[in-house]
Amino acid sequence: MSTTSTNPSTAPLTVPPAKRKRKLPGWSTAMIGVAGAIVLLSTTSYLTGFPQLTSTGTWQTALRLALPILLAGLGGLWAERAGVVNIGLEGMMIMGTWGAAWAGYQWGPWAALVSAAVFGALGGLLHAIATVTFGVNHIVSGVAINLLGAGLTKYLSTLIFYPLSNNPRESPAVPKFDTYSAAGLSDWLGDLEAQQRVGISDVAGILRGITTGVSPLTMIAIVLVPATFLVLWRTRFGLRLRSCGENPVAAESLGVNVYLYKYTAVIISGALAGIGGAALVLNPGQPGYLEGQTGGRGYIGLAAMIFGNWRPGGLLGGAALFGYVDGLQLRSGGKTVLALFYGAVLLLAVIVVVQLVRKKWFSAAFAIVGAAILYFVYFSLDELPSELTAYAPHLVTLVVLAVASQRLRAPAADGVIYRRGQGD
């Protein structure tokens, strides 16, 4: 081994850098990530003695809570990929809840779904007219739609629901979807989970949670994730749509009708947000429409999208994380959320090892300090204060965003107002 090869500074500069190993395809890294998360959770659950971390109930809750966020996030993804910032998701979601309740109590859940999509799409259309045709600032238009959505539904429900439910802020009960369980599989997994064996029972609990009592809406929402990916990244239509978000002038010069694509994207965005609203109304926990029931989930969907780096897979991860932590704190409270801290310590420890192997001393040291602080919090507290647990999902999102934000990349022309022919 000669000295020149070990000391890069003396090597000639023209030598091309060593070819990196072929990158794994996206889906397999995602799989590895999911498997890693499951291993981490089941280890944490085993070591801390909180089976709730991977129990069926927790995952069912997580799925239910993640659904509206996922749909809103998908809506945001469509709009932003075409270069329109959609802060109005919350308003479109509110319109969706009203539309779902209005059609739902008369004609059943499928009508509710369609009507919610239509009402949401109307909100999207409005946003498109304002931002694309008239060049209104995207944030201003979005905020206006949020206010409009809240005000309009308030008016409409006083007009239509009040005579029916004697309450201007609430709709009559809306029939719900039947839920489906994977026959046989669900019971078998239930047995496995009950045995409380390390690892196996955890995986069984998680799988059972996402295969038991699933409504058609859940299936649709989950299918929409790969569908969005395929449409936006594997079709000509998708390529053109994304080109409007990256460089509309170039897209125009190649003959793409940028306005049309932006319109389409924002309308689809509104429809998806509307379906997110329907997911709230058709949730088995409540009778139907209730004023203020979206509770900022549209904004959280937007955060999940940024968290997911404007990609469907990442967005799914963000929504799942949010739903999971929220479900955990609602169901089991501060003690269990504290156990997650222990899981975070384990995760950081793994990161430390990886960084040490890669000889990144600084980030390793940073991770060690982080792990030490978290472990101290975990060890010194018996139960996380309720003020903190309620915001655990927000905190987790913040931490992840803070760690990952340097590697996030928004579409280049996101939020930039574009006029036809401006490139000439």
Partner 1 sequence: MRRRMRGIAVSAIALTSVLSMAACAKDTGGSSNAGSGNTAGDGCTLAAAPPAAPATSSSDDASAKVDGSALKVGLAYDIGGRGDASFNDSAAAGLDKAVAELGVKKENVKELTAAPNEAEDAKQTRLRQLAGEGFSPIIGVGFAYAESFKVIAPEFPDTKFGIVDATVEGAPNVTPLVFAEEQGSFLAGVIAAYQSKSCHVGFIGGVETPLIGKFQAGFDQGAKKAAPEIQIEDKYLTPAGDFSGFQDPAKGQEAAKGQIDSGADVLYHAAGASGKGVFSAAKEADVKAIGVDSDQYNQETVSNEKDVIVSSMLKRVDVAVFDYIEAVAANNLSSLPAVFDLKVDGVGYSTSGGKIDDKLKTVLEGYKAQIISGEITVSATP
Name the residues that contact partner 1, by CB under 8 A: 1, 6, 43-44, 47-52, 55, 57-58, 61, 64-65, 162, 165-170, 173, 280, 283-287, 290-293, 295, 327, 330-333, 335-336, 339, 342, 345-346, 349-350, 352-353, 356-357, 359, 375, 378-379, 382, 386-387, 390-391
In the complex, least distance from residue 326 CB atom to partner 1, rounded to whole angstroms: 8
In the complex, least distance from residue 163 CB atom to partner 1, rounded to whole angstroms: 12
294 close to 71: Cβ distance less than 8 angstroms? no
d(CA 393, CA 49): 22
In the complex, least distance from residue 142 CB atom to partner 1, rounded to whole angstroms: 19
In the complex, least distance from residue 159 CB atom to partner 1, rounded to whole angstroms: 15
When the beta carbons of 239 and 395 are compared against partner 1, the nearer one is: 395
When the beta carbons of 60 and 247 are compared against partner 1, the nearer one is: 60
Q: How far is CA 319 from the centre of its chain?
A: 3
How many CB atoms lie under 10 A from the CB of residue 141?
24
How many CB atoms lie under 10 A from the CB of residue 174?
22
When the beta carbons of 170 and 414 are compared against partner 1, the nearer one is: 170
**What's the sign of the alpha-carbon dihedral 380, 386, 388, 390?**
positive
In the complex, least distance from residue 342 CB atom to partner 1, rounded to whole angstroms: 6
When the beta carbons of 12 and 163 are compared against partner 1, the nearer one is: 163
When the beta carbons of 95 and 392 are compared against partner 1, the nearer one is: 392
In the complex, least distance from residue 282 CB atom to partner 1, rounded to whole angstroms: 11
State the maximum Cα–Cα separation within the chain, in Å, rounded to a whole number.
89
Place of tokens 């449409």: 231
In the complex, least distance from residue 175 CB atom to partner 1, rounded to whole angstroms: 11
Q: DSSP secondary-structure letter at 353? A: H
99 close to 119: Cβ distance less than 8 angstroms? yes
In the complex, least distance from residue 190 CB atom to partner 1, rounded to whole angstroms: 13
In the complex, least distance from residue 99 CB atom to partner 1, rounded to whole angstroms: 18
When the beta carbons of 233 and 375 are compared against partner 1, the nearer one is: 375
When the beta carbons of 59 and 78 are compared against partner 1, the nearer one is: 59
In the complex, least distance from residue 188 CB atom to partner 1, rounded to whole angstroms: 20
80 close to 315: Cβ distance less than 8 angstroms? no
Smallest CA-to-CA distance from 71 within 220, 272, 223 is with: 272
How many CB atoms lie under 10 A from the CB of residue 213?
18
Which two structure tokens, joined as six digits, stand for 275? 């379906």
In the complex, least distance from residue 51 CB atom to partner 1, rounded to whole angstroms: 5
When the beta carbons of 349 and 408 are compared against partner 1, the nearer one is: 349
Smallest CA-to-CA distance from 310 within 411, 203, 182 is with: 411
When the beta carbons of 238 and 370 are compared against partner 1, the nearer one is: 370
When the beta carbons of 133 and 196 are compared against partner 1, the nearer one is: 196
When the beta carbons of 107 and 376 are compared against partner 1, the nearer one is: 376
